[in-house]
Structures are given as C-alpha cells and as structure tokens.
Amino acid sequence: MLARVRDWLDERFGWDELIAPLRKKTVPVHRYSHWYFLGGITLFLFLIQVGTGILLLLYYRPSANEAFESVQYIMTRVEFGWLVRSIHSWAGNLMILTAFAHMFSVLFLRAYRKPRELTWVSGMLLLFLALGFGFSGYLLPWNTLAFFAIKVGTEVAGQVPLIGKWLVVFLRGGEEVTGATLTRFFGFHVALLPGITTLLIALHLALVQRFGISVPRSLEAQWLRPSARRHQAGMVFPFHVPNAEGAPRKGLVHRW
Amino acid sequence: MCPKDSAAQVPREVAQSPVRRRFAEFLLGGGLLASAISFLYPILRYLVPPAQPDLGTDSVVAGRVGDLRRNSGKVFRFGNRPGILVLTENGDYKAMSGVCTHLNCTVQYRPDLRQVWCACHNGFYDLNGRNVAGPPPRPLELYEVHVRGEEIVVDRRRGA
C-alpha cells in the first residue's frame, strides 16, 4: 500500500530523487554522546509545543475579560485540559533548557566554525525567538504574576537608548499593560513567532542536513595524523569520555 | 522503512522460532499501540467540549469606580450574556442580569423613572430586579456587587 503511494509519487515528480539526500546521513560515532541529542530534543519539544498550543487555542480566549476565566475553564472543566496546559508549560521551560544546552555544546566544541557559521547564526536567532515565546506566553494566563512580570519585563525594554520609549509603547500597545497588551502578546505568541520560527527551523535543519554533524577539532587533527597516539586529548566537555574501543572511528554511514 | 523488505533480507535460519518471533512482535506492537492510545485518548477527550460550553463565569469586573454618575446605569459583559450595573442616587451599586425575561432583549436603566426598562415591549423592573410592569413574566436575576479597590466586581452565586 505504502509502496504503491510512493511509486505513484515517484512517477509524477521523482519522489525518490527528492528525498535521496535525506536517506543517507553520516553520523559521527567517534564519541557517541548525549550532547549530540540536544538539538533533536529541542525540535521534539517544539513540536510538542505546536501540538499542545493548537489544542489550547480551542478554549483560550485572548481578551482582558475572559483570558483568566478561560484558563481556569481549561484547567477545571475541560477533560484533560490540565494535562494539555501543564505539558505546554513544562515542555516550554524544558525547550529553553535544552536549547541553551545545545547552544553551549556547540559553542564549547567550536562546531560553529567554517562552514557552519549560518547554522550557528540561525540557531542563535531561534534561541532568541524561543525566549520571545516564553516572554509572550507568560502574559497569557492573565493572572497577577503574569501581569507584573510583563510590566517589569517591558520596563526593561524602556532602558534601550533612543527607541526605548517607543519600544515599550509598541510592546504594550499603549502606555500601560492593559488588555491591548494581552491581545498583542497573543498575536506574537500564536502567529508571528511560530511563523518566523518554523521558517528558521527549516533553514537550520536544511543546513545541518547539508553539512552533516561537526567533528571536534582535536579529533579532526587526530584523523589527519595516521600515526597519532590513540588516546583522548582532554577537553572541557564530557564528550570526551572514551568510548568502548578507545580509538576514534571516522563515522558511520547510516541508511534506512 | 518497509518491514517486508527487511524481513526478506533476514536469512531463514535466523528466524528460527516463528513463535518466539511472533511473541516478540506482539509485545513490541502491543507496547507501541498502548503508547499511541495513551497519547491519543486524552487528546480526543480534550476535543469534546464540556457539557457547559459557557465559560461559567461567576465573577466579572463590571467597571471601575468613577465610570458611573449617580442615577445612571451601564450594560457590561457577564460571560457571554449582558448584565446591567446601576449606581443609585444614594450611591449604592445594583447589578442584575441584562436579559429581559420576556423575550431576551437587553434591558437599560431609565434615570427618569429610576427603573430598569426593556425597550422591546415596554417592560419595567425595579432596582431589585422585580418585574413591576409590562410583559416580563419573571424578575431579573440579581447579582452581588463588591467594590475591590478601583474595580467593581459582580458575582453570581454558584449554582444559580
């Protein structure tokens, strides 16, 4: 059945050719470590956020009069509403955590070096967008904590020289944090940020796909010296727990 | 990708015990299926709207102190229905349902008569919500009013 669908697609627009680059990937086995999972975990959590976010949109109402009540409604009346909202909240926090861990692992291993500069830059932009998600989402429950957190948070933006004042008015949709701010942040949170983020993730993944996974410098150097001593050069990160064989292998072509 | 392909590649001798193999597949498939159900079931239940589609609003900010002059009234949103808030000449707040009990028109305050009036069929209610003249068959539901700081909060008794 699946094969027939694939054949059909292949006959029309060369499906196999299209996905050929996706079917072959070099996975470094030199130091098979958890640090390489962080990007994927972040992506997974992002997808969780998209799913639970869409579910929350079914019941959430972004107006000053109804926002708080609708969140209470989700938590108390809607079946499994508490679960969906809690997953959204926790996965959001975890996503920030894994995104930062991912960023630091790339930073310390200098995985950003040529030719992967654009991957790094797009990743940093994604990190800022993730923070934007966190900030805009924080207001949406419209409780006291949310209100004052956003009041203080937007005041920080006011300290930017020259455009600070304008920036605060832009963020708040007025001089003060009001229902206008809520509507605005809701728009950022569910339309503007997801749109930009999705595009950037596509770019980020395409770049990772194109360049493959970075190999740490010290290993690269080892591989270039055939007579090199086969033990670990101690580096900052726990990437360098020796693997079973001790000796680095050059990578494994993984097919599926 | 395709399980048939990979199965075909395994030499016959390797798949020695078809029973054992089938059992392992059953365990694996059953586990995956159970996981999938445990994810999908809450989502499906979530998608079913609760019996009470109303937000069930029991309390709402009807306005701010200073919004109203004495002997005037305003209509506010209470959940998905209107309510009416009146500041009497004595400075008391009164709040009641804004939906006329006759044919569900939205009522308004008549400062000249000091009564709540429905414009549709000339129905009158006093400031305690009692239907005093015209077609309305029942009184308006009366709400409790609290002034909390600058905000005028209107409460509906639960279960009402």
Interface probe with A: pick from B43, B55, B77, most Cβ of A within 10 Å: B55
Strand partners, A147: none
CA distance B56 to chain A (A): 8
Helices (H), A58-143: 67-76, 81-108, 117-139
In a domain, A135, yes or no: yes
The per-residue pLDDT for A232 is: 42
In a domain, B82, yes or no: yes
A-chain residue closest to B57, CA distance: A69
pLDDT, tens digit (0-9, with 9 covering 90-100), for B44-76: 999 998 876 655 567 788 888 888 888 889 998
Same-domain status, B76 and B19: no
Same-domain status, B78 and B141: yes
Cis (ω within 30 of 0) for the bond into B42? no
Kindly list the residues from chain A whose CB atom is less than 8 angstroms away from the CB atom of residue B45: 79-80
Q: What is the 3-state secondary structure (H, E, C) of chain B?
A: CCHHHHHHHCCCCCCCCHHHHHHHHHHHHHHHHHHHHHHHHHHHHHHCCCCCCCCCCCEEEEEECCCCCCCEEEEEEECCEEEEEEECCCCCEEEEECECCCCCCECEEECCCCEEEECCCCEEECCCCCEEECCCCCCCCEEEEEEECCEEEEECCCCC
The 8-class DSSP code of residue A250 comes to: -
pLDDT, tens digit (0-9, with 9 covering 90-100), for A46-77: 999 999 999 999 999 998 878 988 999 899 88
The predicted model scores a pTM of 0.67
H/E stretch holding A16 reads: helix A15-23
A138: domain CATH number is 1.20.810.10
B144: domain CATH number is 2.102.10.10
**Token output for A76:** 């108390």
Residue B42, amino acid: P
In a domain, A80, yes or no: yes
Kindly list the residues from chain B whose CB atom is less than 8 angstroms away from the CB atom of residue A81: 46
Number of domains in chain A: 1
**Token output for A145:** 């904590």
pLDDT, tens digit (0-9, with 9 covering 90-100), for A81-129: 999 999 999 999 999 999 999 999 999 988 898 889 999 999 999 999 9
In a domain, A20, yes or no: no
Same-domain status, B15 and B70: no
Kindly list the residues from chain A whose CB atom is less than 8 angstroms away from the CB atom of residue B49: 78
In a domain, A96, yes or no: yes
What does the DSSP assignment read for A179-220?
HHHHHHHHHIIIIIHHHHHHHHHHHHHHHHHHH-----HHHH
Q: Which of residues 25-84 of B touch A (CB under 8 A)?
A: 42-43, 45-50, 52, 55-57, 60-61, 77, 79
Q: Is the distance from CB of B62 to CB of B154 less than 8 angstroms?
A: yes
Same-domain status, B86 and B27: no
Q: How far is CA A230 from the centre of its chain?
A: 36
Q: Is the distance from CB of A154 to CB of A161 less than 8 angstroms?
A: no
Same-domain status, B36 and B111: no
The per-residue pLDDT for A245 is: 43
Q: A146-149: long-range contacts (C-beta < 8 A, 24 or more apart)? A: A147/A177
Q: A40: closest CA among A218, A250, A213, A237? A: A213
Q: Is the distance from CB of B103 to CB of B117 less than 8 angstroms?
A: no
In a domain, A108, yes or no: yes
In a domain, A176, yes or no: yes
Strand partners, B110: B115
B-chain residue closest to A4, CA distance: B2
CA distance A93 to chain B (A): 21
Q: A145-149: long-range contacts (C-beta < 8 A, 24 or more apart)? A: A147/A177
Note whether B43 contacts A81, CB cutoff 8 Å.
Answer: no
Distance CA A174, CA B115 (A): 38
CA dihedral A63, A65, A71, A72 (to 10 degrees): -170
In a domain, A243, yes or no: no
Same-domain status, B77 and B147: yes
Note whether A80 contacts B57, CB cutoff 8 Å.
Answer: no
Same-domain status, B70 and B129: yes
Range of the domain at B12: 3-47
B-chain residue closest to A23, CA distance: B1
Chain-wide mean pLDDT for chain A? Answer: 85
In a domain, A45, yes or no: yes
In a domain, B52, yes or no: no
Same-domain status, B94 and B130: yes
Same-domain status, B38 and B92: no
Range of the domain at A199: 34-213
Low-confidence ranges of chain B (pLDDT < 50): 1-2, 159-160
Number of domains in chain B: 2
Same-domain status, B130 and B73: yes
- By Cβ distance, the residue of A3, A66, A83 closest to B55 is A66
The per-residue pLDDT for A52 is: 96
In a domain, B95, yes or no: yes
Same-domain status, B42 and B14: yes
The per-residue pLDDT for A168 is: 94
Q: Which residues of A touch B (CB under 8 A)?
A: 2-3, 55, 58, 61, 65-66, 69-70, 73, 77-81, 83-84, 256
Sheet holding B115-118, edge to edge: B108-110, B115-118, B123-125, B131-133
